[in-house]
Amino acid sequence: MDQDFHYYGTFYAARIAGFNAANATLIAKCSNFIDFLSNQGYGGYWRLVRDKRKLASRDQYTVVGDVTSPRYTFQGTLSTGVAAEDGMWCSYHFTPGNFADPEGVPTPAAVHGERVAALLPAPTDDSIGRYHEVRRTPGISKPEHATLLNRPMSGLSRALLADTIEGANNPARLRRILMRAVGASELLGENATVEQNTLRRFRLCLLGVRAHVIADTWAHQDFSGIGHDMNTYWDVNGWSVGRQGIQYDVGNGWVDVVLSSSSHENLQAAPNVAKIGHGWMGHFPDYSFVKFRYRPGWGRKSDTLERDNPTQYRYAFLELCSLFARARSRDNHFEPGGATSWLTKAGQAISSACDVADKSVCPRVHSSNAWLEQMAGLGTPMDLINTKLEPDPKAVLDGLLEGTDGYTRYGTYIVQATSDLYLFQIAADYHFHFVRNFLKRHDIMTFGGSWSQQIGPLSQTVTDLF
């Protein structure tokens, strides 16, 4: 998914669920910012300060804490190729889900209610998943790798939904999270007004972080967050020479294409040696309006998988509407029948197609305009962003007073301690700890990258809350 859905789609899901425009905008900004808090732009040392504006000299700031290893949520292209961070990619973009439910995981009805659960897809008869489709993976030799495929509605996905709903309805829990953060006393302040304002914004930041991850379980399904052959594919037509091809359809019939790093942006893909996530598939998983066919490396060489993105994105939007409704009140189950017209309009925005073969067209801009046109009756975000920019300055969270004072990413950033940027950083770190704990506790995966071993803004004692 791209900024069209992570920003505008998320905003409109929050609006349908009853959030006002200002709060829905912050949720959408945080969802979108997962793809832009990069190691290249934010991976130095964060000095947390009380001051709310840039001062003449760095030694004039009132320092309330230091975060030596902030938890960035997107890895730059070069560093991904050199050393992909499994914990980062598996936490925020390709959450593992190709396994049967561990004991105690909530059902779809428990997190969404019966009416929404009935509209979500059920597993096939031969799936080992009771509530979600678990892929058979004859192309993967090791079972521990097969479990890492990202799957929608997985046990981990539902655990994340349940945890988000609990936090959104329980200020005391949010406070316990912030108490474990660097600069906690500054965040919670000396009076109830400061604390309530911080908790209100932290709740929205956490909703945004989780909204991004849940949405990606639909867009990024069947790919994994580790560098592995499971993320490659055979040629859809059975050719054996040259780079593999796929087929796609934007409403005018199936088209054969070979994606490569030298193609124009719409049809670009990662080099053959890059086998993480959907790099080989380029942008196609992120186009809401497209269907595509390919032969995934995790299956049999002769098996073709057809992905219908418009349908999958409608499920993603429905899950977000449900999550946001229950975030406003845990007893407030989303009623699709009462929002039929808005769900229909969202589907039309999702399905609005453009010609991706035309290099003068920017698909995420086209889709963003479709969202604004179809959902006009719900208003617009407080900040309209140009999705061609990655990111538009208006999509960047407030709080960075000064960038690094060095020429490497190990310089020092001056960050306002009570800003949306730092609250987002804490929410992202909390999410990482939850995912790592879940996967390790259920013997699914242990993160091994250096990024995962660092201490971010939260104390390790945050795991006491899980």
Q: Of 308, 331, 359, which residue is a domain's last?
A: 308
Residue 78 pLDDT greater than 60, yes or no: no
Give how far the C-alpha of residue 354 lies from the chain's centroid of Cα atoms, to the nearest Å: 24
Q: Is the peptide bond before 108 cis (omega within 30 degrees of 0)?
A: no
Q: Of 281, 308, 335, which residue is a domain's last?
A: 308
Mean pLDDT, rounded, for 103-113: 97
pLDDT in the model for residue 273: 83
Residues 194 and 302 in one domain: no
Residue 61 pLDDT greater than 60, yes or no: yes
Residues 31 and 99 in one domain: yes
How far is residue 243's CA from residue 259's CA, in Å, rounded to a whole number?
8
Residues 356 and 272 in one domain: no
Other CB atoms within a 10 A radius of the CB of residue 88 amount to 24
pLDDT in the model for residue 309: 98
pLDDT confidence band for 404 (50 / 70 / 90): confident
Mean pLDDT, rounded, for 118-143: 93
Cα 275-279-284 angle, rounded to 5 deg:
145
Percent of residues, the chain, with pLDDT higher than 90: 90
Residues 26 and 107 in one domain: yes
Residues 176 and 275 in one domain: no
Mean pLDDT, rounded, for 192-199: 95
Residue 303 pLDDT greater than 60, yes or no: yes
Residues 245 and 166 in one domain: no
Residues 300 and 216 in one domain: no
**Considering only CA atoms, which of 320, 339, 311, 217 is closest in space to residue 10?**
320
Mean pLDDT, rounded, for 334-345: 97
For 249, the domain range is: 229-308
Long-range residue pairs from 189-194, CB within 8 A, at least 24 positions apart, any chain: 189/418, 194/418
Other CB atoms within a 10 A radius of the CB of residue 453 amount to 10
Residues 52 and 144 in one domain: yes
pLDDT in the model for residue 239: 75
Mean pLDDT, rounded, for 300-322: 97
Residues 387 and 417 in one domain: yes
Give me the number of domains the chain comprises: 2
Residues 364 and 426 in one domain: yes
Residues 211 and 300 in one domain: no
pLDDT in the model for residue 77: 62
Cβ neighbors of 148 (< 8 A, separation 6 or more) are: 90, 94, 96, 98, 224, 225, 226, 228, 230, 444, 445
Mean pLDDT, rounded, for 37-66: 95
Could you tell me which residues are beta bridge partners of residue 251? none
Q: List helix spans (H) across 180-278.
A: 184-188, 192-219
- Give the tens place of pLDDT for each residue, 232-276: 999 999 876 667 899 999 999 999 999 999 999 999 999 888 899
Per-chain mean pLDDT for the chain = 95
Residues 301 and 330 in one domain: no
Q: Count of alpha carbons within 13 Å of 266, Cβ hemisphere only?
A: 17
- Give the tens place of pLDDT for each residue, 145-164: 999 999 999 999 999 999 99
Q: Of 308, 338, 373, which residue is a domain's last?
A: 308
